[in-house]
Structure 1
Amino acid sequence: MTKLPEPRPMPIDEAIPALKDSLRTAGAAVLLAEPGAGKTTRAPLALLSEPWMEGQNIILLEPRRLAARSAAVYMAAQLGERAGETVGYRMRGESRVSRKTRITVVTEGILTRLLQQDPALLGTGLIVFDEFHERSLHADLGLALALQSRELLRDDLRLLIMSATLDAEPVARLLGDALVVQSRGRMYPVETVYLPQAPAAKEPLETVVERAVRRALAAHEGSLLVFLPGAREIRRVESLLAGSLLPAGVLLTPLYGALPQEAQRRAIEPAPAGQRKVVLATSIAESSLTVDGVTVVIDSGLRRTSLFSPRTGMNRLVTVRAARDSADQRRGRAGRTAPGICYRLWSEAEDRALPARTPPEMLEADLAPLALELAAWGAGSPDELAWLDAPPAAPYASAGLLLQQLGALDAAGRITGHGRQMAALGLHPRLAHMLLRARELGLAEPACALAALLEERDLLKGAAGRDGDLRHRLTLVLNAAKGARGTGSAQEADPAALQRILQLGRQWKARLLELDQPANDAAAAGLAAPPAAQTPAPGPLPPQTRPAQAPPAQPRAELGPQQPDRYCGLLVSFAYPDRIAIRRPDGRYLLRSGRGAVLPVKESLGAAAFLAIADVDDEGAEGRILLAAPLEEEDLRQYYREEIQEEQTATWDDASGTVRARIRQKFGAIVLAQRPDPEPKPEQLAGALLTAVAEKGVSILPWNDKARKLQERLAFLHCIDDRWPDVSDDELAATAEEWLAPYVSSVRKRADLQAISLYNILENRLTWEQRQELNAEAPTHLPVPSGSKIQIHYENPQAPFAAVRLQEVFGFMETPRIGYGRVPLTLHLLSPAGRPVQITSDLRSFWETTYFEVKKDLKGRYPKHYWPDDPLQAIPTRKVRPDGHR
């Protein structure tokens, strides 16, 4: 047997004794180790030989597939073995483990499946959460489930959290005040250079990055690692650099998650002798991976993330500024093997303003997968588990509603048999529901292909990819699966993406078949598998029945698996029932949720009456439809018949002066059909007019002068005493249901409306005592000395007035007062011709001062009329002169 060389010392070695001691005594620890310390590959091997690990295995959780595979291969090599012996790995669609395997490196979904199948994780002594600072949804969930498992089932299950940039104290508290072990790592000095773009420049990102790459290649030795937000930007920068002359010996290698495994391997392996690389990477290269030979990092400072809106139930892919912890991780990549330099494409001022930490995915993501996992776990609510950041209430509630719509949860929020099968598939709940429904219709194979299509990056290239018709894409995949070539497939389809989709589709098909078989006891109990076999991820729980509230519909005869154009939209609708949409007359679409959406390209979908939308951008007032397929109305009516509701509606048509009553068939906000309702209910008639009043105001009601004058008197009293009701137009419109509803239940046309007496309705709001008080404190008329009764006007409730001829108020000493004596009545004093000669609310002052000037003027203009020298002793008259006076 060949003796293996002693492993070279690593900085993490100094921290191992403290780590062992903490795990032995407390059962948990937090390890902070700088990049290059060796924590990922050295710590698990060192802990494997601990006495408390006898007969137990280690699960090492890595957030990324490439990092998981690389870590397993490296650790196996340290033992002189191949992956799949003592050290193996498991991820979706790929597995290398055997009966000898004691350390299994897994990606996050696999840990969740293992815990769901065996909450006690018998045979596992330690779970290691690596790079926990990334705070993915599955990592947070896995830790919460593991903590509850340890509390209720396995007090000997040990937990280790590892990171380079983690805020350790909250995690340590969550683990029961666990020890925080630190390792300095092996970092070489890294110089930081800021290259901000001029505010006026506004150059495309790829142009700025290309210039920085050329500068760095000219100024420095070694390979370059360039951080970009996504694959689209990587391709653009790659195109710019490849299209011009690069220095001799420079290799361009992209690195992102959707690349084939071989292409990812080429990106991280050392450059051939005498050459160097420019690695164009997403955040996949931030941690866990060492890209050999890198001494220069160029950081765009951007990251791409998917933000979920609980309001619309949609995700929005956005590019945002990276946080401080992410920028520091990226910078550290330049100092792993030698002194390096980091070019940051932003200013020092912008650098100081960076947020401290990248938000946990828990706070930004669609929580439907989490909600389904918790329901399968048996948790009634997230509050039953311990979290670093609990799931936000609104997105979690939105997730629960979606799961009920998919039949995964019952009305009480408990998981159904259908929901257990969805959880066992390991897909997003939407796609899992689609596969299960498709299986009932004999469409499992195309549904698996469609699920793979929707999970992976778009397989169409160039202009073809701008048309969002899923039917064409599905046909390409199905033809490729049969070995046939669809029209234009060679030119339009990305071969690598097509191969990934085919492989993933086969995986989901195998997973569906497993649901019909008993669960694999060995797989459910632990991590054992045939030696070095390519095995799928852990198998499902035993099959259950679908919930009673969502019985399977009988398949239509024409839904044959050879007709993807016919059933593609139906399959999409199973995954996205909330995104079924109807075409509006102007070509835009209305989603079932009530939100609008538009087709940016209408080449093949624009004429469809109904669409099932798989991907829609949630920006702006209306979403932009990215991927969809036509849905036949007959399929909508058959497969969603229990969700189509018939409702009676009535609206007031002000133009025709009638109530238009309708019986509508509705699917959410979508009106499928409507017809006149010959016998609307009284409450619907009343509701139609009340709604019109609320929207258009009380002006549509049959007001007359008498009713308006009563409204004005009441408004006057309300101004001085709030015991009186507010009868302003705005308040009456807002409270119409309270005061108007009893009188309009039989109104169907304008003639019915005109028969209503608003005067009586307003008066009926008053008690008998209030009516007497109204007449006393806001009288309709003012008695004057001439014997006349002069109308009082209340148009302005702040200043009621009466208009009276001056001669009729001779002898009226004081100004009359109304409203409990608080308000002087303004008098408009008129000439014999009825024209105002004075407006006053102080009659005594008028008689004593102004009258004599007015008298002089009036006597000249109306010499036959009576103009006494003493108005207070004069006889008031309605005539030219009082009787007996000449």
Structure 2
Amino acid sequence: MTPLAHDIARLPDLPARAALPALLDALREGSRAVFEAPPGAGKTTLVPPALLGQPWALGRIVMLQPRRVAARAAAERIAALLGEAPGARVGWRIRGETRIGPDCRIEVVTEGILTRMLQDDPEMSGVSAIIFDEIHERSLNADLGLALALEAQEALREDLRIITMSATLEGARLAQAMGGAARIRAEGRMFPVETRWLERPWRRPDRRGPRFEEAAAELILRALSEERGSALVFLPGAAEIARVERLLAPRLPADALVRPLHGAMPFARQRAALEPAPEGRRKVVLATSVAETSLTIEGVRIVVDAGRARRARFDPASGMSRLVTEPVSRAEAEQRRGRAGRLEPGVCYRMWTRGEEGALPAQPPAEILEADLTALALELALWGAEPEQLRFIDQPPAPALAEARALLRALEALDAEGRPTEHGRRLARLPAHPRLGHMILRAAEAGEDAEAAAELAALLEERDPLPPGAPCDLTLRIEALRGARDHGADPARLNAPRQAARRLMRAAGLRAGARPSAGRRPAPEPHAVGRLAARAYPDRVAMRRPPPPGGAAPGAPVRHLMVSGKGAALPADDSLAAAPFLAVADADGDPREARIRRAAPLTRADIEELFADRIEERRICAWSPRERAVRARIRRMLGAVALDDRRWSDAPPEALAAAMAEGVRQLGLQALPWSAAARRLRARVRYAAAAGAALPDWSDEGLLATLDDWLTPHLQGLRRAEDLQRLDLARVLEQALDWNAREALERLAPAHFVTPAGTRAPIDYDREPPAIAVRLQELFGLDAHPSVGGGRVRLTVDLLSPAGRPVQTTGDLPGFWRSSYADVRKDMRGRYPRHPWPEDPLSAPPTRRAKPRGSG
């Protein structure tokens, strides 16, 4: 065996080696360091063995790798450097696979493994250093692991060394987040890489042009025709990889072969993508972002970057994550570009223009800011700390964390005070999301098919084995997994969930049932699968909505309402379209209406049994905008879903009146019967209030704000919008005024002006100034202009003919008598000879009558 390489001069001459003395000095003097090195500098390979042999490094070196593929590859590479097989002094621990020997000194682990190590033993006994590799990827578990490790170091292990290694993250910010860590920078020695951009965008602004995969395939073929060597192509996901592979197959050069690479592939196929191409051939590796860092792919000198990355975005309001495909950041693009210059000068083809590059974000978003925080919230509860007490690079968003804690309480993982329950502690030990762990454990306790629960959990955490467009029914997937019926499933995609299901059973301490000799097991009944899914997703139990009036359009999706209050839709031709209730396990997270991808049917009896303690009887009096009426119902509710809905025949009158008032608020004041008397009274109040009187605000806003005070008591017995027309609104408004208000109203804004003839002329307060309309003869003898407000405000007077037609408008009645009256008299005498038209109107008696026939 080659001795452990604590003599750094014996390590390979990679660019990072020159910075190792500075790193070791920093770790002798302190306990925290940030090691910055560009892509391909060799930091993953060199740093772990360089730490061994240091006086403080008597225990193991644990290195965190974000991805399983990279963890295996890094351990194999370090072991090969030491001249030995993996599993002796260098090994790995990843989900479902451990290769660690009794003499192991360097462990490469994935994120969930490190979190569990810290939770089980906060002192990290026997560990001398923890290395967080590729910290710039900002995965949620890496951020959590770093925060927990830093607190463990401060509280329990001052001698524990913590090193973060980054290719692109700003080192100063990271060092500050770590509480003042030393920064060491390794210069790169990458071979030159020529960057070639598109001359014009592959898709025009009107979105016309080739499909994404077609454009990517064309760029790959161009690169292969222009350059020698193997190519590494970055695509957003496995589906795009498969489509590009199909497009390339008939057009590849004779010397080229395609090798897909993504995390869901079996390890043997991943290894084939990493190994050198056969003699005389070159590889085209179609990879997801798994190949951005820590992996060395032999022979690559061409990179084709399609410029897209797939990320999970979590919506706390809906409780669902959705995958979004978006442009890469400049940091990711630089990482990808660097893969072309690791072994020799290379070329990077970018599927965007140089001008488009400026619009790319600088860094990818931190997962902690956008992901589902349920598992994080459980780990924090187990650790016994609030997030602000820990050194997170970015604090988790409060709304998402609150939603996660609410879900954990619903899953019985946290008590009312937010402390972990024993059930929660068991959930944390299962290698699955808390939802799925809860499903497995509770199914086992209830005597249900726990093995089916483990299989369902594995299927939901792995890629869907059925082809695109397959029905949504989860039972079909379990049938395919058990070999009962294949339903078009990809056999290669069934191995991973089968293995994962067995791991979950072991972790939960459960035993699988006996296998029939033929190896094919029947799947559970669909409703039994629905019960399991409902345990995991209680907020996504969904009820089919009734069709709209007139029926749904042909082919329209079947719409559902989930317990959370969010809408979801299922294709009309899906096998579950007729099910009245569903347990939705997977939906696309669209904020308007999620598209259901995987679900199982439920019965009402299942729901009643599973959620008996959550079903509430609600008595509801509410206004229905659709029916323009008050609906009084008694409903048994599970969240937003009404399991039962019947008429509330003896609803209290005051509740009905309050609902009717809400209807008025929604319909607006124009729905009320505004008689002329009601309009005049309202105008008087508004006028007097503007003049300084202590009167209520009868603007639209004021009346709506005080609806319950002046209108609601008069709404008893009214149920529909049409019933409002029965109101005497003037009387209702008048009763809203107390004695003082009425007195002020009469003083400042009287309803009428009493003419000399004794008639009462209504005053119109909607005009400015207020106005009256009076027959001219009724004002004979009046030598003072009509006014209100104690004489302070002169009224506008519309003088009318005996037939009630306007003759003249005046704001100075005495002046009218002296001037314009004579002209009016000449005109009116001929038209209305039977009416008096005296030469001196001030001395004439006012009258409402015409002269008797035959009188002069």
- TM norm structure 1: 0.89
User: For residues 685 and 147 of structure 1, do their structure 2 counterparts lie closer, same or farther at Cα, with a shift above 3 Å needed?
Assistant: same
2: CA distance between counterparts of 1:822 and 1:638?
Answer: 76
Alignment RMSD (CA, Å): 2.8
2: CA distance between counterparts of 1:821 and 1:494?
Answer: 94
Q: CA deviation at 1:768?
A: 2.3
Q: Aligned letter for 2:467?
A: K
**Aligned pair partner of 2:529 in 562, 568, 590:** 568
Whether the aligned pair in 2 keeps the contact of 1:172 and 1:179 (CA below 8 Å) is: yes
**Aligned pair partner of 1:836 in 784, 806, 818:** 806
Q: Aligned letter for 2:16?
A: I
**Aligned pair partner of 2:345 in 331, 339, 345:** 339
**2:507 matches 1:511:** yes
1:111 is matched with which residue?
114
Which stretch shifts more, 77-86 or 670-679?
Answer: 670-679
User: For residues 655 and 214 of structure 1, do their structure 2 counterparts lie closer, same or farther at Cα, with a shift above 3 Å needed?
Assistant: closer
Mapping of 1:517-528 within 5 angstroms?
none
Which stretch shifts more, 180-189 or 846-855?
Answer: 846-855
Q: Aligned letter for 1:829?
A: L
**Aligned pair partner of 2:365 in 359, 364, 377:** 359
User: For residues 42 and 657 of structure 1, do their structure 2 counterparts lie closer, same or farther at Cα, with a shift above 3 Å needed?
Assistant: closer
**2:25 matches 1:29:** no
Mapping of 1:275-294 within 5 angstroms?
275-294=281-300
Q: CA deviation at 1:740?
A: 3.5
1:556 is matched with which residue?
none
Secondary structure of the corresponding residue to residue 492 of structure 1? coil
**2:828 matches 1:858:** yes
2:410 is matched with which residue?
405
1:306 is matched with which residue?
312
1: CA distance between counterparts of 2:203 and 2:527?
Answer: 53
Which stretch shifts more, 494-503 or 424-433?
Answer: 424-433
1:876 is matched with which residue?
846
User: For residues 84 and 813 of structure 1, do their structure 2 counterparts lie closer, same or farther at Cα, with a shift above 3 Å needed?
Assistant: farther
**Aligned pair partner of 1:641 in 607, 612, 628:** 612
1: CA distance between counterparts of 2:459 and 2:790?
Answer: 79
1:422 is matched with which residue?
427
Secondary structure of the corresponding residue to residue 190 of structure 2? coil
2:45 is matched with which residue?
41
**2:585 matches 1:579:** no
Q: CA deviation at 1:816?
A: 2.5
Q: Deviations over 1:476-503 (max 9, x none)?
A: 21x23xxxxx23x1x6111121011100
2: CA distance between counterparts of 1:579 and 1:838?
Answer: 73
Structure 1: gaps of 5 or more residues: 481-485, 517-559
Q: CA deviation at 1:874?
A: 4.0
1:519 is matched with which residue?
none
2: CA distance between counterparts of 1:142 and 1:387?
Answer: 9
Whether the aligned pair in 1 keeps the contact of 2:505 and 2:511 (CA below 8 Å) is: no
2: CA distance between counterparts of 1:150 and 1:656?
Answer: 65
**2:499 matches 1:499:** no
Secondary structure of the corresponding residue to residue 793 of structure 1? coil
Structure 2: gaps of 5 or more residues: 513-520, 548-557
User: For residues 821 and 152 of structure 1, do their structure 2 counterparts lie closer, same or farther at Cα, with a shift above 3 Å needed?
Assistant: farther
**Aligned pair partner of 1:376 in 361, 372, 382:** 382
Secondary structure of the corresponding residue to residue 165 of structure 2? strand
Which stretch shifts more, 737-746 or 683-692?
Answer: 737-746
Q: Aligned letter for 2:150?
A: L
Secondary structure of the corresponding residue to residue 509 of structure 2? helix
Whether the aligned pair in 2 keeps the contact of 1:712 and 1:797 (CA below 8 Å) is: no
Whether the aligned pair in 2 keeps the contact of 1:876 and 1:882 (CA below 8 Å) is: no
Q: CA deviation at 1:137?
A: 0.4
User: For residues 813 and 621 of structure 1, do their structure 2 counterparts lie closer, same or farther at Cα, with a shift above 3 Å needed?
Assistant: farther
1:246 is matched with which residue?
252
**2:159 matches 1:156:** yes
- TM norm structure 2: 0.92
2:149 is matched with which residue?
146
User: For residues 658 and 250 of structure 1, do their structure 2 counterparts lie closer, same or farther at Cα, with a shift above 3 Å needed?
Assistant: closer
**2:479 matches 1:475:** yes
Q: Share of identical aligned residues, percent? A: 49
Which stretch shifts more, 613-622 or 682-691?
Answer: 682-691
Q: CA deviation at 1:99?
A: 1.8
Q: Aligned letter for 2:244?
A: V
Whether the aligned pair in 1 keeps the contact of 2:257 and 2:283 (CA below 8 Å) is: yes
**2:617 matches 1:614:** no
Whether the aligned pair in 2 keeps the contact of 1:35 and 1:186 (CA below 8 Å) is: no
Aligned length: 829
2: CA distance between counterparts of 1:514 and 1:655?
Answer: 53
Secondary structure of the corresponding residue to residue 131 of structure 2? strand
Secondary structure of the corresponding residue to residue 508 of structure 2? helix
Q: Deviations over 1:251-283 (max 9, x none)?
A: 101111111111111111111121111111111
Secondary structure of the corresponding residue to residue 345 of structure 1? strand
User: For residues 567 and 290 of structure 1, do their structure 2 counterparts lie closer, same or farther at Cα, with a shift above 3 Å needed?
Assistant: same
Q: CA deviation at 1:328?
A: 0.5
Q: CA deviation at 1:676?
A: 2.6
Which stretch shifts more, 166-175 or 872-881?
Answer: 872-881
Q: CA deviation at 1:316?
A: 1.7
**Aligned pair partner of 2:780 in 787, 793, 810:** 810
Which stretch shifts more, 738-747 or 43-52?
Answer: 738-747
Mapping of 1:525-674 within 5 angstroms?
563-586=524-547, 587-600=558-571, 602-619=573-590, 621-651=592-622, 660-674=631-645
**2:652 matches 1:681:** yes
1:692 is matched with which residue?
663
Q: CA deviation at 1:644?
A: 0.8
Q: Aligned letter for 2:223?
A: A
Q: Aligned letter for 2:529?
A: C
Q: Aligned letter for 2:440?
A: L
Q: CA deviation at 1:174?
A: 1.7
Whether the aligned pair in 1 keeps the contact of 2:231 and 2:285 (CA below 8 Å) is: yes
Which stretch shifts more, 764-773 or 119-128?
Answer: 764-773
2: CA distance between counterparts of 1:773 and 1:499?
Answer: 87
Whether the aligned pair in 1 keeps the contact of 2:40 and 2:338 (CA below 8 Å) is: no
1: CA distance between counterparts of 2:3 and 2:108?
Answer: 25
Whether the aligned pair in 1 keeps the contact of 2:236 and 2:288 (CA below 8 Å) is: yes
Q: CA deviation at 1:799?
A: 5.0
**Aligned pair partner of 1:87 in 85, 90, 101:** 90
2: CA distance between counterparts of 1:365 and 1:654?
Answer: 37
2:553 is matched with which residue?
none
Secondary structure of the corresponding residue to residue 225 of structure 2? helix
Secondary structure of the corresponding residue to residue 127 of structure 1? strand
1: CA distance between counterparts of 2:26 and 2:787?
Answer: 90
2: CA distance between counterparts of 1:433 and 1:695?
Answer: 44
Q: CA deviation at 1:154?
A: 1.5
2: CA distance between counterparts of 1:820 and 1:588?
Answer: 67
Q: Deviations over 1:534-554 (max 9, x none)?
A: xxxxxxxxxxxxxxxxxxxxx
1:126 is matched with which residue?
129
Whether the aligned pair in 2 keeps the contact of 1:433 and 1:575 (CA below 8 Å) is: yes
1: CA distance between counterparts of 2:229 and 2:653?
Answer: 83
1: CA distance between counterparts of 2:296 and 2:623?
Answer: 70
Whether the aligned pair in 2 keeps the contact of 1:716 and 1:797 (CA below 8 Å) is: no
2:550 is matched with which residue?
none
Mapping of 1:665-744 within 5 angstroms?
665-698=636-669, 706-721=677-692, 723-729=694-700, 731-744=702-715
Whether the aligned pair in 2 keeps the contact of 1:303 and 1:322 (CA below 8 Å) is: yes
Q: CA deviation at 1:701?
A: 5.5
2: CA distance between counterparts of 1:124 and 1:742?
Answer: 75
2: CA distance between counterparts of 1:157 and 1:69?
Answer: 25
Whether the aligned pair in 2 keeps the contact of 1:448 and 1:509 (CA below 8 Å) is: yes
Q: Deviations over 1:143-165 (max 9, x none)?
A: 11111111222222211010111
1: CA distance between counterparts of 2:591 and 2:722?
Answer: 45
Whether the aligned pair in 1 keeps the contact of 2:693 and 2:744 (CA below 8 Å) is: no
Q: CA deviation at 1:700?
A: 5.5
Which stretch shifts more, 733-742 or 443-452?
Answer: 733-742
**2:436 matches 1:431:** yes
